[in-house]
Chain A
Amino acid sequence: MFQKLIAESTAKSPWLFHINSGSCNGCDIELVAVLTPRYDVERLGFKLTGSPRQADIVVVTGPVTKQSLDRVLSAISQVPEPKCVVTMGSCPQSGNVFKGSYSVCAPLSKYVHVDVDIAGCAPKPEAIMDGLVKATQILKEKRGQK
């Protein structure tokens, strides 16, 4: 029963850690915008944290530049299990307009397992919320497997 309680809670209290890997700030602003009164993802229990140690979901924005690659990977590795990696915007998925540049390492899925991709440049708030809720379901499954 206690395990079930924990699994249920895992889906209801996902904390976000946001990494900007060279983004143009469009996605970053959109992510913060879903916390505002109009969309308010806090009603689903989402919360932004300042440290990867406390996070459940890592949200990566930006095309993963060469400079930021090591930093992104080390921050993701520091998140305790069960964790979930979400890429937000087209950049970390394909490189977007920066594709082919010498200084861009996208897609991120070459380096770590990515659970959810939220496409768009920048994605719509509804899309972001949908992606995050999907991520919570994945978190719950991961917890259940344990």
Chain B
Amino acid sequence: MINLNNMVDYHHFPIYSIMVLFLGAFLIAATGGKESKNPRNPAGFRAWIALIATGLSLFFLGSLVKPVMMDGEVIAYWMGSRGIAGGYAIGIALEVDALSLFFALLISTAVFVSAIYSIRYMVHDDCVPQYYVLYCLLAGGVLGLVLSGDIFNMFVMVEILTFAAVALTAFRTKVYGALEAAFKYLVVGCMGSTAILTGVIMLYAQYHTLNLAQLASLIPGSMNNATKLAFAFLYIGFSTKAFIVPFHPLAADAHGAAPASISVLISGVLTKSGIYGIIRLTYFLFQTMNLGASQFMLVFIGSVSMFVCVTMALAQHDFKRLLAYHSISQIGYVLAAVGLSTSLGVSAGLYHAMNHTLFKGLLFLAAGAVLHETGTTDLGKLGGLSKKMPHTTVLFLIGAFSISGVPPFNGFASKWMIYQAAYQKAVESNNIGFLAVTIVALVTSTLTLASFVKVSQSVFFGQLPKEYENVKEVPFGMRLAMGILAVLCILTGIFPNTVTGILTQPAAKAVADVGEYITAMGFKSNLPVPELNFAQVGVWEPINWLLILCCALLALTVVAVAGKYDRVSESESENEAVETKYQLFYGGEKNVYSQVGGGDLFWGFKHNWRHYFSFMHDLHSGVVNDYALWAVVALALAIVYMMIVF
């Protein structure tokens, strides 16, 4: 007899949130692959199954905010009540602390919004029911990874999500390069998974347990060469999932080829799982973050990712590839901030991770909307879409402002915290190296703005090519999904203190308080409870600023309207042959289509960096053998580095 009271106990919610997704995948697969006749929703009720599954998953996780985030409880959940026997964990465990829940919430939000978007977006494709199977598998895999309490299950979930992600990358087989991108991803992704498995095996051989909490209680006191080797393998394994340097080229290919709704998951969800893995490794399992060497490793890789990828993005000609590089650049911010190993830094990094999921999701969905209507994302071919797709343009601009850190959007709030954290760290440790992080981050932010100016000029503004004159606004379902993310972008930007108070500071607290994580699972820990300091140097109260800006704008608008600012003269029809007054000024010439394209918009910048850019161009050969070699070299370097410094 099922006890209903027991079932609604929130301790079961983590496993429910994973199970509904896998159950959804099973149900969709079980109903077969026959497509429905409705041209607006070829997957029929299966799309609704996916939507309900992701929605339920979000609901379960959302109701955990109260106990885990606010009351600071760590949920330790043993499957089938098999727990610890003889001092060793033998069961399968889920362990949900604030950090896990934080990432899980991000993931399920992105998955849910993208599911709404998929319904109307996937109308032009074949095999849409299968798409939803893979979609639910991917979502379940990532959720399982961040909620899992033992390292072998983490590996299993990595396998599931890699499988689903590779298949979804190759989903649009008609798109040029889709199979090639999937193949590259498969090769390097498998190397990453293998590295994780190797690391897990090495740990199990030494410590005879797979439970994260128990490993965390055993490892730090007894680091030997085999542990360090395992650390290197695990680190590289999770790096491939986060696509940080040197694995960034894969992300560009995968995002360019995958459907936009999947790009959202790859960028907003998959990379987050990699970051989650790295945080778990460095802060929990091996507890090396109090060492300068470990901080240096993360901060250095983060800064390099930030800068290299933003310059790579400036050189791109494709909307989605550009976004892909930006996504790694923003992950660089997260990694560098987390690597600072101060409570403000971790909180800022997590905040930025959240914002990244929101704004990058929004931007990918906007790119998908453009692709859906025009059939291309080539920056050289598009232009002037703002007249045809005004809502998409506004939503895109919100995303673009957020990612470039224009106040008062969310990107600004988190970047501002990162700058402060890095500068504070530099002053406290009297190490001028951390200062470079602040400078690189600020410059990167401007370059990000530059490349989104490029996108808005060459896609949404400028002149409309003849062949896109019949383009329409995207369906409501797609705009709804983008709208949700846009509203979240604005809200998290305007209320940074609330957001950090409820979400990121508890997560940062969980990162610092490893002892709690270990004892909650029933193991002994003598780690002290840390003192946390979230004090900031500057003050950023967006409400005040926004109020002043609104007053200023209002006053200005009143003056402007009084001065007949709005009484403008406009052409009645767009095709007046005789009337040249409303045509653009071409030095008197007749108007012909002439768009200043995105390809080389910032040549004044590129010209000065031409040696760097030609070096990067040669380096990113696009050959999978090269990228596999990079992975091996990175692994070798990581092993050497860890052997030397720890």
Contacts and interface: CB of A to CB of B under 8 A. Distances in A.
B580 interface: yes
Given A77-B580, A78-B580, A70 B585 contact: no
A53 B587 CA distance: 11
Contact of B583 (A51, A72, A74): A74
Contacts of A78: 580-581, 583, 585
Contacts of B528: none
Contacts of B589: 71, 74
Contact of B581 (A51, A71, A77): A77
A93 B590 CA distance: 25
Interface string B562-594: 000000010000000001110101011110000
Contacts of A51: 585
Contacts of A68: 588
Contacts of B569: 80
Interface string B311-345: 00000000000000000000000000000000000
A19 interface: yes
A75 interface: yes
Taking residues whose C-beta sits less than 8 angstroms from the other chain, chain A's interface range is 10 to 19
Contact of B588 (A53, A71, A80): A71
B589 to A, nearest CB: 6
Contacts, number: 28
A31 B589 CA distance: 23
Interface in A21-57: 51-53
Q: Most chain-A CB neighbours within 10 Å: which of B569, B579, B580, B589?
A: B580
Contacts of B580: 73-74, 77-78
A71 B585 contact: no
A74 B588 CA distance: 6
Q: Most chain-B CB neighbours within 10 Å: which of A71, A74, A75?
A: A74
A139 to B, nearest CB: 18
A19 B585 contact: no
Interface in B144-177: none
A18 B583 CA distance: 19
B585 A53 contact: yes
Q: Most chain-A CB neighbours within 10 Å: which of B579, B580, B587, B588?
A: B588
Q: Most chain-B CB neighbours within 10 Å: which of A52, A72, A73, A77?
A: A77
Contacts of A77: 579-581
Interface residues of B, number: 10
B466 to A, nearest CB: 21
B561 to A, nearest CB: 14
B90 to A, nearest CB: 78
Contacts of B583: 74, 78
Q: Most chain-A CB neighbours within 10 Å: which of B569, B587, B589?
A: B587
Interface string A76-97: 0110100000000000000000
Interface in A1-35: 19
A17 to B, nearest CB: 10
Contacts of A73: 580
A51 B579 CA distance: 18
A68 B581 CA distance: 17
A137 B580 CA distance: 27
Nearest to B584: A78
A73 B590 CA distance: 11
B43 to A, nearest CB: 52
B73 to A, nearest CB: 65
A72 B589 CA distance: 9
Contacts of A70: 588, 590
B581 A75 contact: no
Q: Most chain-A CB neighbours within 10 Å: which of B581, B583, B589?
A: B581
A72 B585 CA distance: 12
Contacts of A72: 588
Nearest to B582: A78
A32 B590 CA distance: 27
A68 to B, nearest CB: 8
Contacts of B579: 77
A21 B579 CA distance: 20
A72 B587 CA distance: 9
Interface string B366-379: 00000000000000
A47 B16 CA distance: 73
A46 B588 CA distance: 23
A19 B579 CA distance: 19
Interface in B405-460: none
Contacts of B588: 19, 68, 70-72, 74-75
Nearest to A68: B588
B199 to A, nearest CB: 64
A52 B588 CA distance: 10
A140 B579 CA distance: 26
Contacts of B581: 77-78
Nearest to A51: B585
A75 B588 CA distance: 5
A134 B277 CA distance: 78
Contacts of A74: 580, 583, 588-590
A80 B588 CA distance: 15
A1 B185 CA distance: 71
11 contacts: A53-B585, A70-B588, A72-B588, A73-B580, A74-B580, A74-B583, A77-B580, A78-B581, A78-B583, A78-B585, A80-B569
Interface of A: 19, 51-53, 68, 70-75, 77-78, 80
* Closest 4 pairs (CB-CB, A-B): A71-B588, A74-B580, A75-B588, A77-B581
Given A75-B588, A77-B580, 18 more contacts: A19-B588, A51-B585, A52-B585, A53-B585, A70-B590, A71-B589, A74-B580, A74-B583, A74-B588, A74-B589, A74-B590, A75-B585, A75-B587, A77-B579, A77-B581, A78-B581, A78-B583, A80-B569
